[in-house]
A and B are shown apart, each in its own frame.
Chain A
Amino acid sequence: MLLTGLLYGAALLILLLVFAKMRSFRVRQAVLLVASYALYLTWGVWFGAVLLVSTVMNFLVGRWLKRQPTAAVLWAGLAFNLALLAVFKYIPGIAVSIPVATLQKFSHLALPLGISFWTFQAMSYLLDLYRGEELDPSFVEFALYMAFFPVTISGPICRMPEMLPQFRSEKSVSRHDIGRGLCRVATGVLMMQLAQLLGKGILGGEGINGGFDHLTRWSGLDVWCLTFGYGLQLFFDFAGYSHVAIGAAQMLGFTVPENFARPFASTTPSIFWTRWHMSLSFWIRDYVFLPLAVLRREVWWRNLALIISMVIFALWHKGSILFILWGSYQGILLVLHRQWQALQHRLKWEPPAAIWTPISWLATITLISAGWILFRANSLPQATQMLAAVASPASYADHALPRSLYLLVASLAIAYAAVLFVINSLNRYAERLRTRSEILEVMVRERWVWVAPMWAAASLLVVIMMERQSGAANVFMYRFF
């Protein structure tokens, strides 16, 4: 992992130099494409071959679709992409659980890294062409769109209309972009280290991973600690990775979509799903929910479309019963929230925000957290057992998890809230103090100069803390989706 990190860092430095010296977008595209493929091939030559085949096929279907923008051509392209996902992502999983001879051939197929991300990018390209979007990428540009190294492995999922003008830009890389990008990379690295710390635990005790994988009995308190801690771990891990990806792209002058926007501050499930894994949730909204929901005019259909969309959102992660249940649960939550809003509107009931907002926030975080049980549990019986513990008041009297894990989860949640508060204050100061204090203004404006090293030092501290732990840690959890 360290070697891969160094490789990516070296590639970024070389690209920065090339971008600083070369203005021609064609040269930049070629260098970026070579670097992107070189980095992707370090994960496996076979993976590169699959990506290339997908790129060629989607480019050709795109050309076909431009000449003949019919639903049949679109469906042919979508079918190819879905088949690719099925072969590498879903059938191997099914083959493990269903002992059918023909399926067994697929059971050992390795999942090409980032296939779910770049396949969804390819499908959005075809859907945009069908919609009539004016897109005319060359093969190099399309190949770059599919393999652009900051986002290939785990997103954010980009869209061609936003990326194409950037691939054709000849603007010089700015000091501001490099600084801000570096700051985001450092923030992301720290968040990913914290995710590992949550996974491993501290003071010789179990972490979140051990709590899910090694324990066989849980109290209600344990389940809440694990499920809330897992939400935090997943957030630190994936939002951290997204910071790294967005920061690396920004250093080269590219703007890629944001993936998280303070999801734990959401006061309703609807708001949460516009702030968590945004590039995927907006993809599902634009290309699945909206076309599906307008097929019929009835309200029940719209609600069903929402549930179906959330199930597809869940299946994007993994094809399993647990994920289908998780998606259905989140869909039902969204529908119930909608019904609740409609009821409030009918009754003309407007509770005071000062009381209602904290209640709504607590309910949202609790319900979303409960869902992580289905997302993370290793099996359906385990999820059932954990949910039974939550529902059993008698189980709350004791706990099996070490106190150190409760302490870790609580400390990180509080520390994260405190950091958000400080960042908000800094941003407010940045707006207000322009003429008052030059030093403070420079410190606020150029905060990446001190924030980035501070986060780097904090990351190092976390690494040292983890050295003392023996438990296993998940290294970037979204790599497996």
Chain B
Amino acid sequence: MTEQAQQMIEHVIYVIRKPGIEIDETTPLVSSGLVDSMALVDLLLKLEELTKMRIPPGKVQPKDMDTVTLMFATAQRVGRPRK
């Protein structure tokens, strides 16, 4: 697991606010209802911060953010280097 993925998992746990929850890179987050719309925005902004990329609005859907692995794949696919 990369350091970025580990940081993202920690952030997901912080955002979910459920004591004792265990998350890994493949845990479904949106489809399982663990992450709601507002938390999704948090995760998207965190993803931009960690990858140092700008993710254009309209290029990402919740299904692209369902797992930590998918989040980084999405950033690779649609992210643009920050100016």
Contact = CB atoms under 8 A, between A and B. Distances in A.
B60 to A, nearest CB: 7
A293 B41 contact: yes
B55 interface: yes
A290 B41 contact: yes
- Chain A interface, DSSP helix/strand/loop, else mixed: helix
A353 interface: no
Contacts of B33: 274
A294 B59 contact: no
The size bracket of the interface on B is 10 to 19
B41 A302 contact: yes
B31 to A, nearest CB: 11
A338 B15 CA distance: 12
B65 to A, nearest CB: 9
Given A270-B36, A285-B37, A291 B77 contact: no
Interface string A278-294: 00000001110111111
B45 interface: yes
Interface stretch (A126-134, A143-151, A473-481): A126-134
A338 B42 CA distance: 13
The size bracket of the interface on A is 20 to 34
A100 B48 CA distance: 49
B37 A290 contact: yes
B17 interface: yes
A432 interface: no
B81 interface: no
B57 interface: yes
A294 B45 contact: yes
A164 to B, nearest CB: 15
Given A132-B78, A290-B37, A294-B41, 15 more contacts: A130-B59, A131-B61, A131-B78, A132-B77, A274-B33, A274-B36, A285-B37, A285-B62, A286-B61, A289-B37, A291-B57, A292-B57, A293-B37, A294-B57, A302-B41
22 contacts: A71-B58, A130-B59, A131-B59, A131-B60, A131-B61, A270-B36, A285-B62, A286-B62, A287-B58, A290-B41, A290-B44, A290-B60, A290-B61, A290-B62, A293-B41, A294-B44, A295-B57, A306-B37, A306-B38, A338-B38, A341-B17, A345-B17
